[in-house]
Amino acid sequence: MRNPDHPARAGGERPELAKRDDSRWGPGACRHSEERERSAAGRHRGEVSVRRGNESVAAFRPDALRIAGGFVETGTGKGAAAESVHRESPRHNGPFIVVDCGAIPENLLESELFGHEKGAFTGASERHIGAFEEASGGTIFLDEIGELSPDLQPKLLRVLENREVRRIGSNTAKPIDVRVIAATNRDLRGEVNAGRFRPDLYYRLAVLKISLPPLRQRPEDVPPIVDALLSLLGIAIEKNEWLRSADFMASLQRAAWPGNIRELRNYLERCSVFGSVMPTQDGDEPETAPSPEVVDLAIPFLQARDKVVANFERRYLEALLRAQKGKTGKAAEAAGIDRVFLWRLLRRHGLGSGK
């Protein structure tokens, strides 16, 4: 559950808690491999929201940050944001270690975080360096921190407070220099109120809060994210130029994307495989915005009007048939027109059987 890209580093000077740094992080990046969008803009009260463009953010240099404030949807890119913070921070040359607290069994998580000595427990045949030691000099990302058991919460708090870690089975504490980034889909403040999460640990983690809104609340981010995803998926743009067309992009920006970036990635891959606009998870195609009609002054008014009307009729009929699954009887009823008239329109535009 760790990021193997960086080796462990020895710690340097310990940063002071919430100490301001006059330097600025460069353009924020919401990346996960190539699945990133280079953007971030500062907001008041220490919150940071993903935004489009190459804007820099005036940054604190605390040793604890928290991504998401509660009820954050899946697939919004918490891991990508954490890696972005690391890469744009003064610790970018240090290791970036990921621990998924929700994916590791409780009886193994303590060893994964803090390490153990040989013979510390049954099955401990050799010494194991924990994630905190491995991340020294860099960043440790604790994903799904809200899943941490009540027994482990005070142990994590002790590490954060003392800035030292003691392996299981050892009597010696080792100093660490590490920034902690924690993320969760849970409402941690609500968990504290319910007695399921320690308030002291909550406030120790909540030095700086980074909020990640769902994709539907930031449609301006869709085009650069699509570009990054197409590159990540290795989709040949010269053969799939329509995936970057204005109409298709507008339909993606209007879609709800309950699965956020993860769902968008799967949808783009599905469209590429079949070479056409495919249904989303909900079984619907993203509604395609019509392009603005170009006025052709080279033809008479009546002819130009008939051309615009014909284009509208065809787009309307295509959308109507999709919505009614090709059933002309229901389509006529939904459109409020006679079934015979609908059949004539379908024949005129070469759609369906027209019968």
**Structure confidence by residue, pLDDT tens digits, 270-325:** 888 888 888 776 555 554 444 455 667 888 888 888 888 888 888 888 888 888 88
Say what the pLDDT of residue 143 is.
92
Q: Which has the closest alpha carbon to 55: 254, 295, 221, 255?
A: 221
Say what the pLDDT of residue 255 is.
87
The boundaries of the domain holding residue 325 are: 301-348
Q: Are 74 and 119 in the same domain?
A: yes
Number of structural domains the chain divides into: 3
Asked whether residue 42 is assigned to any structural domain, the reply reads: yes
Tell me the CA distances in angstroms from 97 to 30, 176, 181, one per residue in order. Answer: 17, 14, 10
Q: Are 110 and 191 in the same domain?
A: yes
Asked whether residue 88 is assigned to any structural domain, the reply reads: yes
Q: Are 193 and 161 in the same domain?
A: yes
Q: Are 265 and 309 in the same domain?
A: no
Q: Are 254 and 111 in the same domain?
A: no
Asked whether residue 14 is assigned to any structural domain, the reply reads: no
Say what the pLDDT of residue 283 is.
54
CATH (domain of 82): 3.40.50.300
Q: What is the pLDDT of residues 6-36, one digit of tens each?
A: 433 333 333 332 332 333 223 333 333 333 3
Confidence of residue 47 (pLDDT cuts 50, 70, 90): very low
Rounded average pLDDT over 96-100: 96
Q: Are 158 and 67 in the same domain?
A: yes
Q: Are 108 and 76 in the same domain?
A: yes
Asked whether residue 121 is assigned to any structural domain, the reply reads: yes
Q: Are 74 and 194 in the same domain?
A: yes
Say what the pLDDT of residue 201 is.
95
Supply the mean pLDDT for the chain.
77
Confidence of residue 67 (pLDDT cuts 50, 70, 90): low
Q: Are 172 and 31 in the same domain?
A: yes
Asked whether residue 175 is assigned to any structural domain, the reply reads: yes
- Hey, is 268 helix, strand or coil? helix
Say what the pLDDT of residue 294 is.
63
Asked whether residue 267 is assigned to any structural domain, the reply reads: yes
Asked whether residue 270 is assigned to any structural domain, the reply reads: yes
The model's pTM is 0.61
Q: Are 118 and 236 in the same domain?
A: no
Asked whether residue 239 is assigned to any structural domain, the reply reads: yes
First to last CA, the chain: 59
From the number of C-beta atoms within 10 Å of its C-beta (0-12, 13-18, 19+), residue 78 rates as: buried
Q: What is the pairing mode between strands 208-210 and 139-143?
A: unpaired
How far apart, in whole angstroms, are the C-alpha atoms of residue 256 and residue 214? 9
